[in-house]
Homo-oligomer: A and B are copies of this chain.
Amino acid sequence: MKTETTIQGLSASLSPARTARKMIGFVPTMGNLHEGHLNLVREARKLCDTVVVSIFVNPIQFGPNEDFDSYPRTLEQDQRLLAEAGCDIVFAPTVEQMYGNKPRLTNISVGGITNDLCGLQRPGHFDGVAVVVTKLFNIVQPNFAFFGQKDYQQLAVIRQFVRDLNIPLEVIGVPIARATDGLALSSRNGYLSAENRAIAPAIYQSLKVAEQQLLAGTVLSEVLQNIKSALTDAGFVVDYVEARTTELQNIEQFDADMVLFIAAKLGATRLIDNLQVKYPAS
């Protein structure tokens, strides 16, 4: 496995694969890798000849009061895990390599689906994601790109701009990886105290309870309210609990496949999770 830190170096490393028209799979990450990321890499390994993983903590997707500076950077450990998972090339550029010295004047914004859920609390976040992912797509030029369904809204944003801009690749969404107690894996779980780590699985538990309630016929608004109460009782400060169609449109009652979304804070740590609930075939 090679590690490249410059665009030029990466291009040189990828050149033989491109010339041979190999299938290139790409997994963009911010590092501090866990099983969720490694699942993406394994999925890429299955589908592609050459697997590229980027590790780049992207400053422009963090808000002014967010955790850019303190975001965990663990390159050596990440490299070890990636080699085991079957990565061929790690691309770990500096901020300067990605954004250069001249000011960036270009922005990409995806309307509609970025205006609520995480978009409300994180203004500009999805623009920053769209810009960096577009840049990485143009640098790596993969055939397939892999993203986790944990960041469901992010995945929807990426699918949207890939379609709108005719970016020549296929986006693959990979199911959420969870700890044995159900907590969705996330780099930010590392911020939790031992006490809060023990409480955190309540998010997933509340989603599974909600699924049962929906299938038993409880009305949607009551189900959402139950999640909020359960989380507040457990010690969370709820940011949102929402239901959407799989395309992120509003949904008033459980009459189609849908997704339940939660964002909630435990101490200073903001956690997100979601669960797709299939509408039973009649």
With A138-B165, A166-B135, A167-B138 in contact, is A105–B160 under 8 Å at CB?
Answer: yes
Residue among A110, A161, A166, A168 having the largest count of chain B Cβ atoms under 10 Å: A166
Task: List 13 A–B pairs whose Cβ atoms lie within 8 Å, in order of A's numbering.
Answer: A19-B21, A104-B164, A105-B110, A105-B160, A106-B109, A106-B130, A106-B161, A107-B108, A107-B110, A135-B164, A135-B165, A138-B165, A138-B168
- Complex partner residue of A160 from B106, B110, B112, CB under 8 angstroms: B106
Q: A161 to B152, alpha carbons, bound, how many Å?
A: 28
A136-151 interface bits toward B, Cβ cutoff 8 Å, 1 = contact, 0 = none: 0011010000000000
Copies in the complex: 2
Q: How many residues of A contact B (CB 8 A)?
A: 31
A64-104 interface bits toward B, Cβ cutoff 8 Å, 1 = contact, 0 = none: 00000000000000000000000000000000000010111
Q: Confirm or deny: A182 has a beta carbon within 8 angstroms of a beta carbon on chain B.
A: no
- Complex partner residue of A106 from B105, B108, B139, CB under 8 angstroms: B108
